[in-house]
Structure 1
Amino acid sequence: MDLHQLRHFLALAEHGNFTRAAQATFITQSAFSRSIQALEQNLGCQLVERGTGGRGFALTVQGRALRCRAREIIDGVSSLRADIIGLEQAPAPLLSLGCGPLPAARLVPAALAEFVDRYRDTRIDLRVDVPDALKEYLDNGEIEFLIADLRHIETSKGYVTQALRPRRFQLFCRRHHPLQTADDLSFRALADYPLACSSLPAELRVLLSERAGRGSLPINMECKHTDILIQMVTSSDLVGIAAEDVVAHLVSHGIVERLSFVDAPRGLLIGGTCFGVVYRADRRLSTRAIDVIETIGRIDATYTATDPATAQTFDLAI
């Protein structure tokens, strides 16, 4: 008797027909019948009472008893296999972190890309959310650290904060956008086009609405995921607003065009968002978390403002 014979017998009991049972176990009907006969010979009893003319069948008393025992045996073997394999597979290390929509666009993916090459066995739990939600995840122990705009997170002595370089914002559009044809592009030209952004700071929202000649800035869409914003901008007349490092990357790959205005307000040139890493002082960071934070700091140190004239005062923008 072997497990194949028991599986064939269970298939016969389930389907109630030799032909369908043979098809379900992917063998010929003749081979299936021989397997059932061999099982009866091995057990020394009849398991199936076949009808006259080969039509239909019924399980004998021994057959009904075997059906219950065979199911227990098959399930036990499957459980045993899973248990044995599980002994060889220790749980994969887990890195849990959170970040705001803006650092999720360029900075954090770049750091995690380097990280996965060094720790290929690690599972990553990355949560992209607003600062208040991230801080709650941190306090509850659901993440080890977060990267977000420090101006929107209230911290105390119980937290460790590592400030990163501020990012200013830039406006961008698809290639061959109507705004690209203007020789002296004025900020008021924005009044004729829909706008979309990712987590625009409140002070820039007010600034843009004033200079664009609107009582309020009608942002048509504000989203957490920059890739959605980019796809919409590249396929419509939508004007996007994003952090400068995101725009610079897209421009360098010929995906979008940067918009420059002759009357651009100084607040737009030097204002932006202040990234920072935050974690709890009363909790020890894992080796992997420390590695990612160091990688983020190293990548962040390479970031500089595009406009040399404002680069010197860029760190003082916030």
Structure 2
Amino acid sequence: MDLHQLRHFLALAEHGNFTRAAQASFITQSAFSRSIQSLEHNLGCQLVERGVGGRGFTLTAQGQALRGRARDIIEAMKVLRHDILTGDHAPAPLLSLGCGPAPAARLVPAALAEFIDRHRDTRIDLRVDAPDILKGYLDAGEIEFLIADLRHIRADQGYITQALRPRRFQLFCRRHHPLHTGQDRSFNALADYPLACSSLPTELQALLAERAGRQALPINLQCKHTDVLVQMVTGSDLIGIATEDVVSQWVAQGTVERLSFVDAPQGLLIGGTCFGVVYRVDQRLSVRAVEAIETIARVDASYVATDLGMTQRFALAI
């Protein structure tokens, strides 16, 4: 089977007549018929069912199926020829990485924005998911590295980890929220409102559940994308929980208000998350991946905690 045979078959299907199709293909009718027969022989099936006495024809089921596919094949060959002649055949560099919901809120977008400005030819495959799922992608070779809470990833000798700065979590609400403007600023008042977060360390989940007097954490919404989270918070009495760098950004924009309590438990003040970069020892990083990790580390280094003593109090477990 070759492209000439496919073009002849499409001409036959379009004109509905062997004579007119042969004329449109600029070959004799006998040569045209042999081309169609040769195509049927190569495919091992009948494409055309000829009428009695050689008058007229109909496409068989296989012929109908080939009609659409042949058009796609010829069009793809045109694109391939154009790409080769114009030098567009080289694939664009690909950067594949994963990150947890917390670093996806601010750190990773800021770093990738800076990275893509320097490498505009690079395609980026970014996967936002839970750390254990990201680790599966990493082990399967689907991503080159990931950024997530290092305490939630079991990294043995087959992995390299690069710790970033720790961040604690903060509570926030919409402007003029009853809890923010009211007299009751006790931590226990949280039990009267729904809660939402993108991700939360296990110890903070237990802390909130204990202070709310419940066995299970009273979280009404958990999502991977903080833009969904902040939209719901600003449109309801929902209380949001996010890392302090993200909350600080929204507070500066006037979108939300930071919640603080006179009796906030010490566990909330010191509990947080430690972002880190993880990649496999046996999988060599591409040049783009190395540059992306360097960019992430540089952007992360510009982060300043609102509580300067937090880094000394935070127990980093890797």
**Same fold (TM > 0.5):** yes
The one-letter code matched in structure 2 to 1:62 is: T
What residue in structure 1 maps to residue 81 of structure 2?
A: 84
Instruction: Work out the CA distance in 2 between the residues paired with 1:69 and 1:260.
Output: 83
The 1:287/1:174 distance shift into structure 2, 3 A limit, reads: same
Q: Select between 267-276 and 215-224 the one with higher mean Cα deviation.
A: 215-224
1:62 and 2:19 correspond? yes
1:193 and 2:150 correspond? no
The one-letter code matched in structure 1 to 2:78 is: R
Instruction: Work out the CA distance in 1 between the residues paired with 2:250 and 2:306.
Output: 13
What residue in structure 2 maps to residue 27 of structure 1?
A: none
The 1:276/1:69 distance shift into structure 2, 3 A limit, reads: farther
TM-score with structure 1 setting the length: 0.76
The one-letter code matched in structure 2 to 1:180 is: H
The 1:237/1:91 distance shift into structure 2, 3 A limit, reads: same
Shift of 1:266: 1.2
Structure 1: state its 5+ residue gaps. 1-6, 17-57
Shift of 1:179: 0.8
Counterpart secondary structure, 2:148: strand
Instruction: Work out the CA distance in 1 between the residues paired with 2:311 and 2:280.
Output: 33
Contact 1:164 1:277 in 2 (8 A): yes
Counterpart secondary structure, 2:103: coil
Q: Select between 107-116 and 205-214 the one with higher mean Cα deviation.
A: 205-214
Instruction: Work out the CA distance in 2 between the residues paired with 1:75 and 1:141.
Output: 32
What residue in structure 2 maps to residue 249 of structure 1?
A: 249
Structure 2: state its 5+ residue gaps. 1-6, 36-69
Instruction: Work out the CA distance in 2 between the residues paired with 1:67 and 1:272.
Output: 73
1:305 and 2:302 correspond? no
Instruction: Work out the CA distance in 2 between the residues paired with 1:148 and 1:296.
Output: 12
The 1:314/1:290 distance shift into structure 2, 3 A limit, reads: farther
1:163 and 2:120 correspond? no
The 1:305/1:75 distance shift into structure 2, 3 A limit, reads: closer
Instruction: Work out the CA distance in 1 between the residues paired with 2:128 and 2:269.
Output: 27
The one-letter code matched in structure 2 to 1:259 is: L
The 1:69/1:241 distance shift into structure 2, 3 A limit, reads: farther
The 1:191/1:138 distance shift into structure 2, 3 A limit, reads: same
The one-letter code matched in structure 1 to 2:297 is: G
Instruction: Work out the CA distance in 2 between the residues paired with 1:162 and 1:298.
Output: 13
Shift of 1:212: 3.3
What residue in structure 2 maps to residue 134 of structure 1?
A: 134
Q: Residue by residue, what CA displacement relative to the aligned partner does 1:83-129 show, whole Å, maximum 9, x if unpaired?
A: 22221111111000011111111110010000100000000000111
What residue in structure 1 maps to residue 39 of structure 2?
A: none
The one-letter code matched in structure 2 to 1:100 is: G
Instruction: Work out the CA distance in 2 between the residues paired with 1:11 and 1:63.
Output: 9
The one-letter code matched in structure 2 to 1:313 is: Q
Larger radius of gyration: 1
The one-letter code matched in structure 2 to 1:185 is: R
Contact 1:184 1:261 in 2 (8 A): no
What residue in structure 2 maps to residue 145 of structure 1?
A: 145
Instruction: Work out the CA distance in 2 between the residues paired with 1:288 and 1:223.
Output: 29
Shift of 1:202: 1.2
The 1:314/1:67 distance shift into structure 2, 3 A limit, reads: farther
Instruction: Work out the CA distance in 2 between the residues paired with 1:80 and 1:184.
Output: 71
The one-letter code matched in structure 2 to 1:124 is: I
The 1:66/1:224 distance shift into structure 2, 3 A limit, reads: same
Shift of 1:170: 0.5
Shift of 1:137: 0.9
Contact 2:169 2:244 in 1 (8 A): yes
Instruction: Work out the CA distance in 1 between the residues paired with 2:266 and 2:193.
Output: 22
Counterpart secondary structure, 2:282: coil
1:99 and 2:99 correspond? yes
Q: Residue by residue, what CA displacement relative to the aligned partner does 1:27-54 show, whole Å, maximum 9, x if unpaired?
A: xxxxxxxxxxxxxxxxxxxxxxxxxxxx
What residue in structure 2 maps to residue 120 of structure 1?
A: 120
Instruction: Work out the CA distance in 2 between the residues paired with 1:234 and 1:127.
Output: 27
Contact 1:305 1:314 in 2 (8 A): no
Counterpart secondary structure, 1:240: strand
Instruction: Work out the CA distance in 2 between the residues paired with 1:296 and 1:240.
Output: 26
Shift of 1:158: 1.3
Contact 1:170 1:242 in 2 (8 A): yes
TM-score with structure 2 setting the length: 0.76
Shift of 1:215: 4.0
Shift of 1:217: 2.6
The 1:155/1:67 distance shift into structure 2, 3 A limit, reads: same
Instruction: Work out the CA distance in 1 between the residues paired with 2:77 and 2:290.
Output: 39
Contact 1:166 1:314 in 2 (8 A): no
